[in-house]
Structures are given as structure tokens and as C-alpha cells.
């Protein structure tokens, strides 16, 4: 089976340098033309460079996913250039945050708004564009392990990702009569593999700022109040993932490409999990020591072009 997205047009929201960029590159490498959305022109430009140096075709689709007029604007721009949208990947989200005792109302509202309103508006207007043109397309909403299981320190992110999961099932029912499929995809804490992001992290370490390499953004206040208790285990952890790895954005990209292809024509209203077995694991089960885990097959890399000098 050779997955091909030739002739298809994809719109990716939140094309930042980790997951969004990885999905955008994968869809491009499988043959799709890719429209890259973000509020950051730097993120868009970086994503387009990555696609183009690997032989793909991409365009910028800047805009705030929570602003309906901007959403309609960049969707219209994609339709004007390429005449269709076959694939939508709802990925835009705000990472990090604080726990329930410390999160501000404003930060909570903004985080939930980006995922809830952003996923809704893009699904609504891309769905309409597909239906009007008779395109039996694919919409993939990026969820998270935090949408299915509890984690300390990210109350808003967990709330909105949980909402994504039922949004997908309801939207799948709305769009089924048009042959448009809606699914979610659940990764968990992927290891960055974007060469530009890795190079930036390495530079940060060399400049004496190792924390600037890859911040996970999780946590809350300083915890200095005498009544506070730790919500996170701070001791040495055994490896928690049965396959020994949570994977990379490239792993996510391969799976999203397949889910967006015609081979997945009857898959709708469901969730595809790519997490090395993390969600399937019983809470009391600790995987074997790292040297006793065979691990997954080698990664099939998609970013094969050399970075430009400098």
C-alpha cells in the first residue's frame, strides 16, 4: 500500500516548528499542496521553507483561528490559489499553563477559546467549502493524551483537549451525509525532530541557557506558600512508555497522512492514537528497563534535505 495525497490540498492550522510543521511536511511529502496557518509569520515562513527545501509546494495562510473573518479570509485565499481544500488539520492550540489553583481566568479562557472556537470555525468554513464543491474530504483534529487522562499543571489545556474529542464525534455526524470524514489524532509529548528546532535548541545550550532548548511550559506558581503540596512526582522515574519512545512529529505526520488518504475512506468519528502504548498502559504497570526494551522500528525520516548554511 502506497499512500498518496497527490492532487489534494491541505490546510494546517498552528504550523509551529514542532507538531504542526511535522504534519505539514508529511502531507507535502505524500503529495499534497499545503497551506500553512499561524498567527506567527516567523512560524509560517519556517514551515514553508522546510516544505520547499524538501521539494513540496506551500503557501502562507496567516490569521487568528478565533477570528471568523480572518478564518474565512485565509480559507478564501487557499481556494483562490488552488481551487479546493481536501484536508484540514486543526492543530492550533496554546501549550502549557498552570494548575487549577493558579491559572488565571484570562489565560484559561484564551486557551480554551483557541482550541474550541478555532477548531469549530475552521471545521465549519472548510466543511462548507468541501460540501459546496462535492469534495469528500478529511478533517483531522489534533487531540492529546491530556484530553483523555489527567495531568497536573495544565488545567485549561486538559479541558479544551477533552472537548476536542467529543467535538469530533458530533462534527463527524454532521458531515457524514457529505462524505466528509472527521477524526481526532492523539499523540503524547513527541520528541522534536525538526532540524531547525534542534539547531535552535543546541544554540541555546551553547549560549548557557539549557532551559531554553525545549521548555515544556508546565507548572504553576513558585510553591512557596506553607500550605502547598506538590502535584508532581519529582523523584527518579522508570521509563513510562511501553515501546520506550513517544515518537516524533514525523511519526504523527505519517499517521495523519494515512488518515487523510483515501485508504481511510470509512474511518470517521474516531481517534487514532500514536503514543508508544502510553495510553493503553495500566497505571500500575511499569515497563522494563530501557536496555530491556527493543523499541520501535527505525523512523522513516521525511526531512531529508540539508539545512542551508548558517
Rg over CA atoms, the chain: 20
Q: What are the φ/ψ torsions at residue 271 (nearest 5 degrees)?
A: -125, 130
CA-wise closest residue to 136 among 39, 306, 266, 21: 266
C-alpha–C-alpha distance, residues 201 and 246, integer Å:
19
pLDDT > 90: percent of the chain: 74
Residues 6+ apart with CB under 8 A from 107: 97, 98, 156
Q: Tell me, what's the pLDDT at 202?
A: 52
Rounded-to-integer distance, Cα 254 and Cα 260, Å: 10
Q: What is the pLDDT averaged over residues 54-75?
A: 98
Q: Which of 136-140, 145-149, 187-191 has the highest mean pLDDT?
A: 136-140
Query: Could you tell me the CA-to-CA distances from 93 to 38, 144, 179, 221 in Å, in that order?
Result: 10, 11, 27, 22
| Per-residue pLDDT reduced to its tens digit, 99-141 | 999 999 999 999 999 999 999 999 999 999 999 999 999 999 9
Average pLDDT on 37-52 reads 96
Q: Give the span between the Cα atoms of 25 and 301, in whole angstroms.
A: 11
pLDDT bucket at 90, cuts 50 / 70 / 90? very high
**Helix (H, G, I), strand (E, B), or coil: what is residue 89?**
strand
- What are the pLDDT digits (tens) for 262-286? 999 999 999 999 999 999 999 899 8
pLDDT single digits (tens) 247-257: 999 999 999 99
Residue 234: its pLDDT value, please? 72
All structural domains of the chain = 9-202+245-278 (3.40.50.720)
Q: Where are the alpha helices (DSSP H) in 225-270?
A: 249-260
Q: Identify whether the C-beta of residue 273 lies closer than 8 Å to the C-beta of residue 242.
A: no
> For residue 261, what is the DSSP state?
S
Comparing 34 with 193, which gets the higher pLDDT?
A: 34
The set of cell numbers assigned to 256 is 495523519
Average pLDDT for 22-44? 97
Q: How far apart, in whole angstroms, are the C-alpha atoms of residue 160 and residue 305?
A: 36
Q: Which helix (H) or strand (E) holds 115?
A: helix 105-132
Helix (H) or strand (E) holding 11, with range, is: strand 9-12
Contact 147, 158 (CB under 8 A): yes
Find the range with the poorest average confidence among 6-20, 184-198, 253-267: 184-198
pTM of the model: 0.91
Q: Is the pLDDT of residue 213 over 90?
A: no
Q: What integer is the mean pLDDT of 171-179? A: 98
Amino acid at each position: 500500500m502506497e499512500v498518496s495525497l497527490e492532487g489534494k490540498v491541505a490546510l494546517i492550522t498552528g504550523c509551529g516548528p514542532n507538531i504542526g510543521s511535522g504534519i505539514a511536511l508529511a502531507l507535502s511529502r505524500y503529495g499534497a499542496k499545503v497551506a500553512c496557518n499561524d498567527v506567527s509569520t516567523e512560524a509560517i515562513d519556517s514551515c514553508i521553507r522546510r516544505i520547499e527545501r524538501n521539494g513540496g509546494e506551500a503557501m502562507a495562510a496567516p490569521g487568528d483561528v478565533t477570528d471568523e473573518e480572518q478564518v474565512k479570509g485565509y480559507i478564501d485565499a487557499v481556494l483562490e490559489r488552488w481551487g479546493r481544500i481536501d484536508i484540514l488539520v486543526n492543530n492550533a492550540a496554546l501549550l502549557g499553563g498552570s494548575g487549577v489553583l493558579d491559572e488565571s481566568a484570562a489565560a484559561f479562557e484564551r486557551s480554551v477559546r483557541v482550541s474550541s472556537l478555532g477548531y469549530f470555525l475552521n471545521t465549519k468554513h472548510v466543511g462548507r467549502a468541501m460540501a459546496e464543491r462535492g469534495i469528500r474530504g478529511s478533517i483531522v483534529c489534533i487531540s492529546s493524551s491530556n484530553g483523555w487522562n489527567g495531568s497536573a499543571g495544565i488545567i485549561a489545556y486538559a479541558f479544551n483537549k477533552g472537548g476536542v474529542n467529543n467535538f469530533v464525534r458530533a462534527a463527524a455526524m454532521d458531515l457524514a451525509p457529505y462524505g466528509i470524514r472527521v477524526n481526532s489524532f492523539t499523540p503524547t509529548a513527541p520528541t522534536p525532530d525538526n532540524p531547525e528546532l534542534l539547531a535552535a535548541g543546541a544554540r541555546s545550550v551553547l549560549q548557557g541557557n539549557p532551559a531554553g532548548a525545549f521548555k515544556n511550559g508546565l507548572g504553576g506558581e513558585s510553591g512557596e506558600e506553607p500550605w502547598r503540596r506538590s502535584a508532581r512526582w519529582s523523584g527518579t522515574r522508570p521509563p513510562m512508555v511501553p515501546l520506550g519512545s513517544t515518537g516524533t512529529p514525523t511519526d504523527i505526520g505519517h499517521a495523519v497522512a494515512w488518515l487523510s488518504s483515501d485508504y481511510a475512506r470509512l474511518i470517521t468519528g474516531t481517534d487514532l492514537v500514536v503514543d508508544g502504548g502510553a495510553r493503553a498502559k495500566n497505571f500500575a504497570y511499569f515497563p522494563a528497563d530501557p536496555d530491556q526494551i527493543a523499541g520501535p522500528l527505525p523512523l522513516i525520516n521525511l526531512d531529508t534535505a540539508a539545512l542551508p548554511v548558517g
